[in-house]
Structure 1
Amino acid sequence: MQYNNISNKTTNLIAIVFLSIMFVTACLSYLNDSTTMDELAHISAGYSYLSQQDFRINPEHPPLIKDLAALPLMFLNLNFPSESSAWTDDINGQWELGWNFLYNSNNNPEQILFWSRLAMVLTLVFLAWFLFFWVRKEFGNKLAIFVLTLFSFSPSFIAHGRLVTTDVGATLGFVLALYFWLKFLRNPSKKNVIVAGLIFGFSMLLKFSLILLLPLFGIITLVYVLLNKKNLLKYIGLSILIGVIGTIFMILPVYQLHV
């Protein structure tokens, strides 16, 4: 091994250590943290989706992050405040419902927060790993370690990634969608078109603001086609097909389960 290179074995070891540090730091830091206002709404909404099959609460965000946060709670014996006026009468009683769910229903709020937040931390760690994987694939071990170092020790991502909010999940959706879109542009095979469509649909289920991917991908596609002298009409048609695949096979099925 040359001194100016880093072996794959060493790179893998560093990545495992940094990802482990990020995971432990995020978990330890949320153990004694009180509930945030967003978490009251998101946790109770997600649990109501899965346990009550009722999807009225917190309609301002797509359901997938809330579903993920509530999934571990389905294995606990929890009481849902279905008799609360916030559930039966209020149009937008999500915060009162969340308070009743965590603190007024004979549940263990620390247990609820622990498992819901753990799902978010795992999402954060997966995002860190995927960034490492992408940069390593494109630019090699050195830059991959550099990027992972910045991300793994970022106070902002650790602070947000341990809470049941949509921001880090949306970041994951953005990164995944961008990666597979670029992969499709470089090689518009049937497989890459299908995967790009499914990932695009997945990202739309994480945060509504990711609709901004549409103009972004349009600009990226146009620049790629012009610089590489590709067939513009072909890429326009395939881009539309990707949107159709994402809508039919990801967005519509998930929302069909949430109406």
Structure 2
Amino acid sequence: MRPSRQLVAASLFLRRHHAAVAAALLACMALLLGHAAFVDSPTIDEPNHIARGLAFWWSGDSRLSTAHPPLANALQALPAALLDEPIDFEKLKGWPQADIGRVARALVAKDYEQLRSAIVTGRLVTGLLTLLLGLYLYRYCLRWGRGRALFFLLLFVCSPVLLAHGHLVTTDLPVALCFAVAVGEGVRWLEGGSRWRLAFAAAAAGCAAAAKFSGVLLLPVLGAATAATALAGVGRFAGATSPARIGRVLRAGLFTGLVVLTVVNGAYRFERSFWTVRQTLAAPEPANWITRPHRGLLLERLSPLADMPRQVRLPVPYSWLFGLFSIEAQNERGHGGWFLGSTEPTRLYFPTMLAIKSPAALLLLLAGAAALWLRRAGRWPARLVERLRAPSSRLLRPLAVPHLALWAAPLLLFWLALGSKIQIGVRHVLPVVPFLLLAAAWAGALLWRRQPALAGLLALLLVAEVALVHPGHLGHFSLLVGGPPVGHQISMIGEDWGQDVAALGTVAKEAGLAPLHYVPYGITAVRELRRTGLKFRTLSCKTRKLRNGGWIAIHAAQLLRWKKCGPIDATRPPDRTIGEHIWLYRVEPPAAR
């Protein structure tokens, strides 16, 4: 069947102007990210992240960077650190104990407007990193053709998960960027690329480990991919003898390990690096809600340090090492949200969340990609060995050994996430999302060649779904599951992150909801609501009755976990909602009942 004249014209246009189309797509994403950065109220975790970054620059001390390494937060705080008047962190409550929660609360109390401004500029930095991630993967996809690269970029720009977390001051998007670059450059090096590819991959892996602890997973993935490529004798190992392959693998592993250690230590400015085991165990441990139950003995209880010789020197900073095991403590304790009516962790959480947080068009394309893969799988066994030993010019095929790293990295992260008891949002598997988009782009490019009208329809559906939910991407759920009204009956904690507080003030003033009693959610919520000019009173859930009646505003994440708050409980449907996340109840005075 001959392609239509319109399809030929569209294909020629995209082929000739693919760079301009890509730039236009990224510009659209920049507008969406920028708008959301200014509209959304500060979320629950952002004050802690920006406090770490500001402390890094203004105090010269990285003691607060235990729950998260400092690299991402330092980058996000850099604009504010350069433009704002410095704060003396040593005078803030919680600083001697390295208690990030108390330090962040002290910053809010000292000058909320300054802190809020720092969060907004930090969000713009995250947005820039998001655009860099899209640009890198677009250029990576050009190896498979301009059509597939553009289809990937469309999926990327219209990904609600990336739009949601690509404008917040957290470490999730930065580590996703490092994850993608490390894998992409590692694959290119294994295929026979220059040594600079290995240097970039190692640096990206180091940045990932210096931004979020899950970044350390890249080391075994890159090591295993290198060993497998050497064993198969393909790519840069083609034609080499066995001793030469072993030597190259060992040299690459040693180089990567040294680069990662240098980047991690450099991110901490080599503070408290290369301490002995004795020094490490003797140091006062940072205090927070995770570590307090261990009473200063977290490393003795959870790490192998207690069984190691005391004179051994550790090649990582104390804060990084302590933070790594504090994550283990958090996982042992459990940090569940509200999922399918339960607060208990479940292995179904992340698979379900990745599915229901994906746009309908993406899910359909992933289903198509899976069907194509299964259809072709029947023809693979007979040619598997031949493909694995193909010349380097054929190594772009999906089954080539170096390319397996492209899928081993996200699969390992996803597999480990299944057993995690920290289930407070899909953002913890955010590095997996770009790889899902790569798979969907493969199916989308094939569909464009065979059924262009259907491909265009899916593209329109994708754009429409994102446009309908903007700027509330945190609360997005796929149209295939019924959208946000149905999705919020499945999950709420990772969606209600305090971003709708300013919207509450606007709606309450316009609708005349008075008197209003607000149950605070997070350390910035009260001050954020006051910024809107709304008159309200804070409400404690211990208050059983409202003497004069009025309205109660409470976050759904609170009520669903607590079941009851003052005169209302979770079984009563709200009278009004703000973005599905803030529930409003009209309460009559006791005499009127």
**Per-residue Cα deviation, 1:97-128 (whole angstroms, up to 9, x for no partner):** 22332442364344222211111110111101
Which of 68, 91, 95 in structure 2 is aligned with 1:87? 95
Structure 1 counterpart of 2:282: none
Confirm or deny: 8 A CA contact 1:44 1:97 kept in the other structure: yes
Q: Which protein is richer in helix relative to its size?
A: 1
User: What is the SS of the residue equivalent to 1:18?
Assistant: helix
Confirm or deny: 8 A CA contact 2:205 2:219 kept in the other structure: no
In the alignment, residue 45 of structure 1 is paired with which amino acid? R
**CA distance, structure 1, for counterparts of residue 193 and residue 151 of structure 2:** 31
**Per-residue Cα deviation, 1:204-225 (whole angstroms, up to 9, x for no partner):** 2121111111222233223323
**Superposition pairs for residues 52-91 of structure 1, below 5 Å?**
52-78=59-85, 80=87, 82=89, 83-88=91-96, 91=97
User: What is the SS of the residue equivalent to 2:111?
Assistant: coil
**Superposition pairs for residues 152-231 of structure 1, below 5 Å?**
152-187=157-192, 189-229=194-234, 230=237, 231=242
Structure 1 counterpart of 2:398: none
Q: Displacement of 1:244 after TM fit? A: 3.6
**Per-residue Cα deviation, 1:156-178 (whole angstroms, up to 9, x for no partner):** 01101111111111110111101
**CA distance, structure 1, for counterparts of residue 56 and residue 126 of structure 2:** 18
Stretch of structure 1 that moved more, 213-222 or 75-84: 75-84
Q: Give the 3 Å change call, closer, same or farther, for CA 258–26 of structure 1 in structure 2.
A: farther
**Aligned-CA RMSD value:** 2.4
User: What is the SS of the residue equivalent to 1:256?
Assistant: coil
**CA distance, structure 1, for counterparts of residue 232 and residue 177 of structure 2:** 28
Q: Displacement of 1:249 after TM fit? A: 4.3
In the alignment, residue 128 of structure 1 is paired with which amino acid? G
**Per-residue Cα deviation, 1:205-250 (whole angstroms, up to 9, x for no partner):** 1211111112222332233233345344134213323324413542
**CA distance, structure 2, for counterparts of residue 193 and residue 216 of structure 1:** 14
Which of 258, 267, 276 in structure 2 is aligned with 1:254? 267
Confirm or deny: 8 A CA contact 2:50 2:169 kept in the other structure: yes
Confirm or deny: 8 A CA contact 2:93 2:102 kept in the other structure: no
**CA distance, structure 2, for counterparts of residue 117 and residue 251 of structure 1:** 23
Structure 1 counterpart of 2:134: 128
Q: Displacement of 1:257 after TM fit? A: 4.7
**CA distance, structure 2, for counterparts of residue 152 and residue 214 of structure 1:** 29
Confirm or deny: 8 A CA contact 2:94 2:103 kept in the other structure: yes
Confirm or deny: 8 A CA contact 1:81 1:97 kept in the other structure: no
Structure 2 counterpart of 1:51: 58
User: What is the SS of the residue equivalent to 1:177?
Assistant: helix
**CA distance, structure 1, for counterparts of residue 195 and residue 132 of structure 2:** 26
Structure 2 counterpart of 1:25: 32
Structure 2 counterpart of 1:108: 114
**CA distance, structure 1, for counterparts of residue 22 and residue 100 of structure 2:** 39
Confirm or deny: 8 A CA contact 1:199 1:246 kept in the other structure: no
**CA distance, structure 2, for counterparts of residue 182 and residue 204 of structure 1:** 19
Q: Displacement of 1:142 after TM fit? A: 0.3
Confirm or deny: 8 A CA contact 2:181 2:201 kept in the other structure: no
Q: Give the 3 Å change call, closer, same or farther, for CA 225–47 of structure 1 in structure 2.
A: same
Q: Which protein is richer in strand relative to its size?
A: 2
Say whether residues 1:118 and 2:121 are aligned partners. no
**CA distance, structure 1, for counterparts of residue 30 and residue 39 of structure 2:** 16
**CA distance, structure 2, for counterparts of residue 190 and residue 29 of structure 1:** 40
In the alignment, residue 111 of structure 1 is paired with which amino acid? S
**CA distance, structure 2, for counterparts of residue 149 and residue 182 of structure 1:** 24
Unpaired stretches in structure 2, ≥5 consecutive residues: 1-7, 273-593
**CA distance, structure 2, for counterparts of residue 61 and residue 253 of structure 1:** 15
Q: Give the 3 Å change call, closer, same or farther, for CA 106–161 of structure 1 in structure 2.
A: closer
**CA distance, structure 2, for counterparts of residue 6 and residue 185 of structure 1:** 34
Looking at CA atoms only, which structure, 1 or 2, has the larger radius of gyration?
2
In the alignment, residue 198 of structure 1 is paired with which amino acid? A
In the alignment, residue 46 of structure 2 is paired with which amino acid? E
Confirm or deny: 8 A CA contact 2:51 2:103 kept in the other structure: yes
Q: Give the 3 Å change call, closer, same or farther, for CA 249–54 of structure 1 in structure 2.
A: closer
Q: Give the 3 Å change call, closer, same or farther, for CA 188–152 of structure 1 in structure 2.
A: closer
Unpaired stretches in structure 1, ≥5 consecutive residues: none
Stretch of structure 1 that moved more, 124-133 or 53-62: 53-62
- TM-score normalised over the length of structure 1: 0.88
Say whether residues 1:149 and 2:154 are aligned partners. yes
Q: Displacement of 1:81 after TM fit? A: 5.7
**Per-residue Cα deviation, 1:4-24 (whole angstroms, up to 9, x for no partner):** 455554211111111111111
Confirm or deny: 8 A CA contact 2:230 2:246 kept in the other structure: no
